[in-house]
Chain A
Amino acid sequence: MPDRRCKEIFAALSQYLDGELRVKDCSELKRHLRGCQPCLDYIENLKTTIGACRQFPTRQAPKPSARVRAALREAIRP
């Protein structure tokens, strides 16, 4: 990805994956991707990374302290 246009395309990849790219830019990006297997693989791995972040599991948390429970119960009392 050596030139300025490539840098612009690279900077827009997240917006492309989030479906936020303008139609014109999206078409140009897709045109570029059609002939570029390394770019396709790069984007696939970026998409996998985003997917893994989204599926990252919640930690097993310690129980809320008695102080926290008491404060919240007090707060919801009518």
Chain B
Amino acid sequence: MNQQVEQALEILRSGDPQAVERAIESLQSAVYSFGMKVCGNSHDAEDTAQETFIRLARSLKDFPDARALAVWLYKVAKSQCLMSRRKSKFAPVEMLSLDELMPQHQTGDGGEPRSWGVTPEQIVLDRESRTRLERAVRALPKHYRLVLILRDMEELSAREVAEVLGISEDTVKMRLHRARVFVRNELEKHFRKKPAPDLHPTAAARKDDAPMRRNHA
């Protein structure tokens, strides 16, 4: 489970007045970010956070522990996002075929996979690479996008993702793999054209003045 969400819910459930304000802000940040990844625009992400919290207030004491509440919270946030009226400008196809996603490197046409020579940290610190990653995730068909966001970005377990989406763990794993390969293939197009970002992490953070950050409760 996403530690930021689970810890903030634990604090809210405890009712500790000293810590509640920070917990609310931490949750706002987590749910808004989730909404941005799923909906792709700030208006829907803000509406999602608002409606999710109003429902959370009614249900705070209805769950045995913070983890169960967190799973419920993701279910609500996901439903709110999908009900939003504004649609992403990306119009994905609905199915990803493994055959189409597979590399064809037996052809010897120079299209063989090569290492990009970048670290995950360099990708998220470099504005252009990060934008490419974000676009690739948004271009995923909805069912695949939700699995990848919940599993790899929100760091829920496969079982928790299955609970949130109401599907089997096997389906989660199948969709997750196709989603990862799709995103990898999209990034491949970027890194084939562009040399690896020549960035030292610290210098990159200064140069980029990244508008986003990872928060913790």
Interface residues of A (CB under 8 A from B): 1-2, 7, 10-11, 13-15, 20, 38-39, 41-42, 44-46, 48-65, 67-69, 71-78
Contact = CB atoms under 8 A, between A and B. Distances in A.
Contact of A60 (B176, B177, B213): B213
A59 B41 CA distance: 12
Nearest to B55: A71
B57 A15 contact: no
Contacts, number: 165
B177 A52 contact: no
B98 A10 contact: yes
B105 interface: yes
B98 A11 contact: yes
A23 to B, nearest CB: 18
B113 A42 contact: yes
Given A56-B124, A61-B33, A68-B24, A45 B57 contact: no
B120 A78 contact: no
B58 A75 contact: yes
Q: Which of A11, A45, A73, A77 has the most CB of B within 10 A?
A: A45
Interface in B58-80: 58, 60-61
B102 interface: yes
B95 interface: no
B209 interface: no
